[in-house]
Structure formats: C-alpha cells, structure tokens
C-alpha cells in the first residue's frame, strides 16, 4: 500500500516578526533585566533580532544588520548563563524575583531550539529530554513533565499535549540537524489523528501515557478545528523535509530530508517562490529521500543538502 501526501499552496506565506518582550531588553536593548523572565520570551527576542537583521540587510542597511546580530549574540550569551539548568539538562521555565532559575521541565525549551538560541551541545540534551519518558507520552510532547509537582495530564497547560507546541519542537530538531529525532512528533500526532473525527487535530488533548489498544484521552472543551493545530501539520511536515523557502533569493532548499514512517511520497504543487512556480515530488528510498522537480516556471533554484 502506498501512502501519498499532496500539498497545493496557492501563494507564499509571510511570518510576522515576534515582539521583543520586556524580559529581553533594558534601555540598552541587550540584557535580561525584568523581575520575572520567561525563557520562551527570550527566544522570541533573539529570533526577532535576527529576523530584523535579515530585513535590514535586504534593505541595504548593513551596519544596522550587524548591530542587531551583535545584540542577538549578547542576548544569547546572557540567556545561556541565566537559564541553563545543568542537572535537569534543560533551560529554566523562568527566572523568579531573585533571578533564580525555575528548573521546571516543560516543553518550552523546544521553542528555544526553534529560534536557534540554544547552544548546539545543549540543544541535543534538550531534544532528547523532550522525547524522553517524562515529557513524551508517545502521543506527543507534554507541556509539563510527569516528574513535576504541578503535572496533571488533564489540565490545560500542566501536562497536556498541544499539536502546535510539538510542531515547533520538531522544527527546532530540524534546525539543529537531529535527523534521528525530527519525525517522532509527526509520527505520534499522525497516530493520534487516527482516533479523531475527520483526523482533525484539536487544540490540545490529555497527556496520559500511550497504552496498547487504547487511543488518546481527549480534552473535553478543546477547540476543533483550531488554527494553531491545523497549521501544525504543515510545520511538522516541513521539519521532516528540511524545507526552507527563500523568496528574495528565489531558492528552495531541502536539508537532510527525512520521510516519516508510513509516508511514501509527498507531492508539492504550484509552490510560488518570488515570481516563479514549481512542482516537486519527494519519495522515500531505502536510506534517503529522492527529490524530483516535476515542473518549473520562472527562475528558482532547488538546493538539496544530504
């Protein structure tokens, strides 16, 4: 039996630049200085600086781009010093009023991988922890680990599984080149979808551990359909394929693509990149993913990194 996924985007999608939170700045715009700082907020400030630097560079403001990247690096260094928890092998959820790290194991460090703020050696430890038994229910990554005092698999935020949260973590795995881990969130959420009406992923579901011959426990008042959850499927697939679209340079890159279990081919049709359009076919092979350009209109480069 052959499984195929077909994607027909109609236009480019632009992602907004996140607001730099107060926890990521003071008057100089560089250091962490709030009473309570959230690690997820710091990653957004780091990503915002790099995104703004890219825009500045495209606009010919090279000096401004350099300043923004230098500011991002200072933020990254401060973040590593203040948020890393060696014993827990993860980043703190927050800093308390005395600037002490709250060493709670949560899914939030997956967002730090997505933004690229984590040091590579620590990123691997974070990723393995996210897929370890405390956080990974085998239906998905929980928001809070089973070992934590506030863990409650039936709660909204303290142990449930959010599809969009898993997609962000998977994109973080792809960013750091964790080919052996990147497909796990997609595979587990696909299995979850088999128990759901129309295979539609909800806003969240309960974080109980997966048991044989039983499906996931649903959260009674979760929104379905829900925009974040609907978008998660595309980011999960993008992470596995290592897909990056660079509109200004008319370039599509596939970096160390991985095909999740049970999916034999992916067909992408009518993908617009700048003024060009392209159709692509990705097929699972024995130890690789084959990528074929089926149609190309206009000027666009397809780069494949193995």
In angstroms, what CA-CA distances link 147 with 166, 258, 304? 19, 32, 41
Q: What is the pLDDT of residue 6?
A: 59
Burial state string for 136-147 with b = 16 or more CB within 10 A and e = fewer than 16: bbebbbbbbbbe
The span from the CA of 224 to the CA of 163, in Å, is 12
Show the low-confidence residues of the chain (pLDDT under 70).
1-40
* Positive or negative: CA dihedral 83, 84, 86, 87: positive
Return d(Cα 150, Cα 160) in angstroms, integer: 12
pLDDT of residue 16: 31
Cis peptide upstream of residue 225 (ω within 30 degrees of 0): yes
Burial of 102 (0-12, 13-18, 19+ CB in 10 A): middle
Q: Is 112 helix (H, G, I), strand (E, B) or coil?
A: helix
CA distances from 138 to 134, 186, 260, 262 (A): 11, 11, 15, 16
DSSP character at residue 254: E
Q: Is 301 helix (H, G, I), strand (E, B) or coil?
A: strand
Question: Where exactly are the structural domains of the chain?
Answer: 16-103, 123-240, 242-306
pLDDT at position 5 is 52
d(CA 137, CA 216): 10
What is the C-alpha separation between 45 and 23, in angstroms, rounded? 9
As beta bridge partners, residue 280 has: 268, 293
Q: Are 282 and 266 in contact (CB under 8 A)?
A: yes
Six-digit token string for 300: 């666009």
**How far is Cα 7 from Cα 68, in angstroms, rounded to an integer?**
36
Distances 204 to 29, 60, 65, 192, 194 between C-alpha atoms, Å: 35, 43, 38, 11, 15
- What's the confidence (pLDDT) of residue 30? 44
- Burial label for 6, CB within 10 Å (0-12, 13-18, 19+), is exposed
The span from the CA of 46 to the CA of 24, in Å, is 8
pLDDT at 41: 81
Residue that has been written with the tokens 């095909």 in this structure: 259
φ, ψ (nearest 5 deg) of residue 242 = 60, 40
Place of tokens 């109609």: 10
């Amino acid at each position: 039996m052959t499984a195929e996924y077909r994607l027909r985007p109609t236009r480019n999608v632009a992602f907004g630049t996140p607001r730099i939170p107060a926890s990521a700045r003071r008057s100089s715009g560089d250091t962490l200085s709030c009473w309570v700082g959230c690690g997820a907020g710091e990653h957004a400030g780091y990503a915002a600086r790099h995104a703004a630097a890219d825009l500045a560079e495209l606009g010919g403001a090279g000096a401004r781009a350099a300043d923004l990247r230098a500011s991002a690096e200072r933020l990254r260094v401060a973040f590593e010093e203040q948020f890393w928890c060696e014993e827990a092998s993860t980043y703190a959820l927050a800093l308390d009023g005395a600037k002490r790290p709250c060493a709670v194991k949560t899914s939030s460090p997956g967002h730090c991988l997505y933004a690229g703020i984590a040091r590579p050696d620590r990123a691997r430890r974070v990723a393995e922890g996210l897929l370890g038994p405390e956080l990974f229910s085998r239906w998905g990554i929980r928001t809070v680990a089973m070992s934590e005092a506030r863990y409650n698999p039936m709660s909204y935020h303290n142990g449930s599984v959010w599809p969009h949260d898993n997609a962000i973590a998977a994109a973080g795995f792809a960013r750091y080149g964790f080919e052996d881990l990147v497909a796990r969130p997609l595979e587990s959420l696909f299995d979850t979808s088999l128990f759901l009406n129309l295979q539609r992923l909800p806003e969240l579901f309960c974080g109980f551990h997966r048991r044989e011959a039983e499906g996931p426990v649903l959260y009674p008042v979760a929104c379905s359909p829900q925009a974040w959850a609907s978008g998660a499927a595309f980011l999960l697939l993008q992470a596995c394929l290592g897909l990056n679209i660079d509109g200004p340079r008319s370039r599509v890159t596939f970096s160390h693509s991985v095909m999740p279990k049970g999916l034999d081919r992916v067909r992408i049709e009518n993908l617009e990149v700048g003024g060009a359009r392209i159709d692509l076919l990705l097929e699972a092979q024995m130890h690789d993913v084959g990528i074929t350009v089926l149609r190309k209109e206009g000027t666009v480069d397809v780069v494949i990194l193995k």
